[in-house]
Structure 1
Amino acid sequence: MECKVFRAVNQNAPANNKMTSSKIQKELANACAAEITCAIVDDIGDKYFSLMIDEARDVSVKEQMGVVLQYVNNNGYVIELFLAMVHVPDSSAISLKNAIDCLFAKHGLSLSRLRRQGYDEASNMRGEFNGLKALVLKENPYARYIYCFAHQLQLVIVAVAKDNRIMSDFFSNMLL
């Protein structure tokens, strides 16, 4: 396939192949994201899977939710992949649940196949009666809640990086 793309682009329009337009770059990024998402969903198929979510504000102060899925592939390996970054109107449990429902419906994933849900300790996430955990459990009692220890690790790294110039420089350079 790579050869076909190379021939089509470089032989038919070599001078026009700059791809510097932000519109073209966004379209390419979205096309890649759509293909990767389809591959993830196809690989999951009708297997059971786990869901990990973290929500935060982006730099424009919009609420967003990062969604990661974890499953065992046909070779017996545990696969953990980022599925989507979803903008939500607010960080309430019902908004997050609605966003999950929409995301699952869009990609043909079933909440009934969910076996684990992992979030941080925020009350909107783990709340016993009104949190996201409770809303998911009402619909699927097999989707057990497990605290996401990666969040704790992130908090430790942020705290260490703030107090240690070497670590701060290291993580600053990693982001470049």
Structure 2
Amino acid sequence: MTKKVLNNIIAAVKTAKYFAISVDSTPDISHTDQLTFIVLFVDSSGKPVERFIKFIPLSGHDRETMMNVLLDTLLEHDLSIMDCRGQSYDNETNMSSKYNGLQARIKQINPFAEYVPCSAHSLNLWSILKSTIHGDVIKLLSTTRWSAQHDATHALKDSFAEIRSALIQIAEDEDQTATTRSEAARLASKLEDFELALLCVLWDCILERLNATNKTLQKTEIEMATCANLYAGLVEFVISLRNDEAFEMSEEKAKLLVKDYSYRADHQRSRKRKRNFEDPDNEILLLPRQIH
């Protein structure tokens, strides 16, 4: 039955003539490395089809071994590498390198076999952000809904260090493009800024209260007097955040997120302003934290 099913698959590939291959290595239950060989083609009705061909035991992961296994498998099933129009592997250097990886060696034989990085592996890489985060998963920022804005800000504050760690991991991954690594490094650097951490804490606090108030105001049974009280309470809450005690509490929470607790202005050289005749003798100088 297995042979008959396989023969039908190969016959369908030959009818389509042109095909693509997807190859990946994975250990079986006995921890023996094996190669998963998959072929993709378009059938006579124009429908894209993906079919598993076989598991192949691996004796090595070098590009020469992988290429020989791939070519031998095609030859075994009477499929020509010259009819291959696409190849997809993971992002490892021995597979994806444009100079001497497996995909480059195949293209030397058949220039029409275009390489497409496996999207699943790319998603797995970015899933580092999800796997390293123990709190809420990071979310897109909405400009219209208070709930979405609070969810996004809270997720960032709740997993600040984990997100920074994941970005550093991506930035150091040599299998990623220069653009991806550069962007990850830039974002990781921003997450080391104390002022960003402080703003994250403050906005999480503000948006949490705004979101709670907004949800209550949307209730159908709410009365006008309750609405007025909610608005008044919200105004008082925002004003209360401006006192020293509340600000110091926010600073302490922000200090838990980063290693450097200083403001950017602390590292900047103070500038002397040219004084006019009518300026007061005692000019008030504000500390960086007082400015904020």
Q: TM-score range by the shorter chain?
A: 0.5 to 0.7
Separation in 2 of the partners of 1:103 and 1:163?
41
Alignment pair present for 1:41 and 2:6: no
Shift of 1:110: 0.5
- Following the alignment from structure 2 to structure 1, what is the Cα–Cα distance between the partners of residues 132 and 109? 41
Provide the residue aligned with 1:73 in structure 2. Answer: 43
Is 1:150 aligned to 2:120, yes or no? yes
Partner of 1:139: 109
Q: 1:96 to 1:162 in 2, by over 3 A?
A: same
SS of alignment partner, residue 100 of structure 2: coil
Give the C-alpha shift of residue 38 in structure 1. 0.8
Distance 1:58 1:163 in 2: 29
Q: Which residue of structure 1 lines up, in the alignment, with residue 27 of structure 2?
A: 57
Structure 1 position 52, deviation (Å): 0.7
* Stretches of structure 1 lacking an aligned partner (at least 5 in a row): 1-31, 165-176
Task: Structure 2: give runs of 5+ residues left out of the alignment.
Answer: 135-292
Question: Using CA pairs below 8 Å that are at least 6 residues apart, which structure has the higher relative contact order?
Answer: 1
Are residues 1:90 and 2:60 paired?
Answer: yes
CA contact (8 A) 2:85 2:114 kept: yes
Partner Cα distance (1:69, 1:159) in 2? 31
> In structure 2, how many angstroms separate the alpha carbons of the residues matched to 1:146 and 1:57?
23
CA contact (8 A) 1:63 1:91 kept: no
- 8 Å contact from structure 1 (residues 50, 71) kept in 2: yes
Q: How big is each residue's C-alpha offset from its partner over 1:58-88, in whole Å with a ceiling of 9 and x where there is no partner?
A: 3333221111111000111000111111112
TM superposition score normalised by structure 1: 0.67
* Partners of 2:4 and 2:129 in 1: CA distance: 37
* Pairwise CA distance, 1:45: 1.1
CA distance in 2, matches of 1:40, 1:162: 41
Counterparts of 2:101 and 2:5, CA distance in 1 = 30
Kindly name which structure, 1 or 2, has the bigger radius of gyration based on alpha carbons.
2
Among 100, 120, 126, the alignment partner of 1:130 is: 100
Secondary structure of 1:45's counterpart equals helix
| Total equivalences in the alignment | 133
> Whole-Å Cα distance in 2 between the matches of residues 158 and 56 of structure 1?
20
Distance 1:133 1:148 in 2: 12
Matched, 1:99 2:65: no
CA deviations on 1:18-53 (whole Å, 9 max, x unpaired) are xxxxxxxxxxxxxx3322211111001151001111
How big is the alpha-carbon RMSD for the aligned residues of Structure 1 and Structure 2?
Answer: 2.2
| Aligned CA distance change for structure 1 residues 141 and 156 (closer, same or farther; 3 Å) | same
Equivalent in 120, 125, 149 of residue 90 of structure 2: 120
Letter of the 1:127 partner, please give it.
S
Runs of 4+ off more than 6 Å: 156-159, 161-164
TM-score by length of 2: 0.42
Are the counterparts in 2 of residues 54 and 65 from structure 1 also a CA contact under 8 Å? yes
Shift of 1:95: 0.8
